Amino acid sequence: MSLYYETADILSAPSSTGGNLKTRLFGKKNKHLKSPPPQIYALASETCKWSAVLKEVIDSSELLRHERKLTPLLALLLVHDFLLSRKGIALPASHGLRAAVERHKARLAAELTRARLRRKAPSVEALRHLVTAEALGDAGLYPRWVRVNTFKTTLQDQLDTTFKDFAQVESVRAILTGLTKAKLLYVDEHVPNLLALSPTFEITKTQAYISGAVILQDKASCFPAYLLDPQPGDGDIIDSCSAPGNKTTHVAAIVRSRLTDGEECERKVYAFEKDQYRARTLEKMVNLAGAQTITRMSLGRDFLKVDPSAPLYGNVGALLLDPSCSGSGIIGRDAMPTIHLPEEPGLSSAKKPPVDKNRKRKREDDTTNEVRRQILVDDDGQELIVSSEKEMKMRLEALSSFQLTLLLHAFTFPMARKVTYSTCSIHAEENEQVVLKALQSEVALKRGWRVMKRDQQIQGMREWPVRGSLEASGWDEEIADACIRSYKDDGRGVMGFFVAGFVREAGLGGEEKRSALGNKKSGLKGAEDRYSSNGNGHLLNGSKAGSTDLKDASNKTNNGLSDTSGSHIEINADGEDGEEWGGFAD
């Protein structure tokens, strides 16, 4: 019985304490659930998806007038399982709630048929497609991007098995225009082992997804590991901000793909994640992907406290930095779903329950981009409404300061030759401007860090047409062209994203001073004055030493921020710096 009551509780939690469905369910506050969270998640999300149809069925059959112990939400959940779940209601036949629904089985079935015919769906299967497409909302305008996990399978294997019934199309646009056809597939032209599927296809129900053979990952989120392009000569890799682990497993898969037949992998991917709770997801993801042989996770560890000169990192040649950001490029696939509740009998319109604030907010979001821009999404998908431009500006400043600090720390690893920096933000403050400030920092100048120019990039990234903003790059064409962007509403079917690469020639040490901008003057006036480094990779902001400011920025960041990926162990609460031992979970 707890399944239905617990699911109803999760769905009726006030939006102020809620977050999206995943946060509500897998969040820190929900440790005492009796039913398995995945079962609650499946019931809640499916019921929300079907709720417009089920509301019609329940209202027309007058179920709530006849069965007074059912609440509207319980009725939705029970009728969902009764009519649509293969196993029916998950309660003993003698149970009062089950009996309350099953007493009306003929009427409920007849009303479902009417609801289906009203929607001109020839079968329940056709109705399922329609309902799924409708429930996707904005997300229905984007394909489902699926990365084939080469630790477990190959692209060809997946085309021959999981996707054998799919029709291959020539472009992402063809997927987007054929939305009602559930089985269209496009093999991406830029990123290897990446597929776009019709958004209505329920990939999460396939064995390939359950076993970790395929991973849901937006195309743009695949750019950083692909751009980093870890070659055998690059040695070990660091993923500095790892959870939930999409880029960690991607970069590890690329490292492995570079082995020759029978060669054992001696290289390591060191993955850091500061948040202990999110670190659990990272560990699960790495294990599910089969990447644990290559990946060393340091769970709950702050990358800023990692000592770059520790012998353990002496062979680190490439770092991937994908820090928390404003999340302004994220597509709202994970927003709290809308629930259409049946009418309570005898409830006059004056007494109707208040409209769910989430739903109201969603409508408001849809009306103006202005409002949309004021929403930040944190690493757990929780939305934060920013009430004024001034507040937004302050948050972006705090974020970009924190992001720059992390980037400059990455620059200090002695053998590092390549770094990628990425965000799922559309704001120049977190993107091109961080790149400019990083290039102008003392550590970059000292160690010879330069931007990875377009013609130095791996083919797919070189060919990706959407580049950085010229204005935000201080009118420096080379930098703008080196920066890679994506926008969520330009028809390419991807989220809003930004990535830039940095390179340094071997042999350039701490002593050699070179202008990372090639002596070109950037349009970012005064940036050199405001941002420089104290030589230890720590940012100096104005006259203040960076560490205090950074702490500040980092704290603020934790209130306003986001996860580019669009999935959670006893954690090692090490985290003090300077040790050679990285606290890695094997």
- Could you tell me the two tokens for 426? 């559309």
Say which amino acid occupies 126: A
Among residues 424 and 540, whose Cβ is nearest to ligand SAM? Answer: 424
Residue choice 374, 401, 457, 565 for contact with ligand SAM (CB under 6 A): 565
Q: Is 26 in the site for ligand SAM (CB under 6 A)?
A: no
Among residues 146 and 241, whose Cβ is nearest to ligand SAM? Answer: 241
Give 410's contacts (C-beta < 8 A, 6+ positions apart): 238, 240, 319, 321, 416, 419, 421
Closest CA to 383 of 435, 328, 445, 463: 328
CA 261-253-216 angle, 5° bins: 140
- The stretch among 3-11, 272-280, 369-377, 576-584 that binds ligand SAM (CB under 6 A) is 272-280
Residue choice 564, 582, 583, 584 for contact with ligand SAM (CB under 6 A): 564
Asked if 48 is an active-site residue, the reply is no
Burial label, 63 (beta-carbon count in 10 A; 0-12, 13-18, 19+):
buried
Residue choice 26, 201, 303, 421 for contact with ligand SAM (CB under 6 A): 303
Residue choice 212, 244, 448, 560 for contact with ligand SAM (CB under 6 A): 244
357 is in an annotated binding site: no
Q: Is 334 in the site for ligand SAM (CB under 6 A)?
A: no
Q: Is 485 in the site for ligand SAM (CB under 6 A)?
A: no
Instruction: Give the CA distances from residue 448 to residues 243, 441, 501, 553, in Å, rounded to whole numbers and listed in that order.
Output: 30, 11, 14, 27
Residue choice 84, 148, 243, 539 for contact with ligand SAM (CB under 6 A): 243
Residue of this chain nearest to ligand SAM (CB atom): 241
β-pair type (484-486, 497-503):
antiparallel
Q: Please report where in the chains the tokens 């070109």 appear, as a residue.
A: 520
Minimum distance of ligand SAM from residue 91's CB (angstroms): 38
Residue choice 379, 383, 442, 549 for contact with ligand SAM (CB under 6 A): 379
Minimum distance of ligand SAM from residue 357's CB (angstroms): 26
- Could you tell me the two tokens for 336? 């709290």
Q: Which stretches of 281-392 are assigned E, i.e. beta strand? A: 295-299, 316-321, 375-377, 383-385
- The stretch among 53-61, 236-244, 338-346, 434-442 that binds ligand SAM (CB under 6 A) is 236-244
Q: Residue 499 belongs to what H/E stretch?
A: strand 497-503
Minimum distance of ligand SAM from residue 225's CB (angstroms): 9
Residue choice 67, 218, 322, 356 for contact with ligand SAM (CB under 6 A): 322
Q: Is 6 in the site for ligand SAM (CB under 6 A)?
A: no
Give 180's contacts (C-beta < 8 A, 6+ positions apart): 129, 130, 133, 200
302 is in an annotated binding site: yes
Q: Which stretches of 47-203 are assigned E, i.e. beta strand? A: 144-148, 167-168, 184-187, 194-197
Q: Is 323 in the site for ligand SAM (CB under 6 A)?
A: yes
Q: Residue 45 belongs to what H/E stretch?
A: helix 37-61
165 is in an annotated binding site: no
Residues in touch with ligand SAM (CB under 6 A) = 221, 240-247, 272-275, 278, 302-304, 322-324, 379, 562-565
Report, as residue numbers or ranges, the catalytic residues.
424
Binding site per annotation, positions for S-adenosyl-L-methionine: 241-247, 273, 302, 322
Binding site per annotation, positions: 241-247, 273, 302, 322
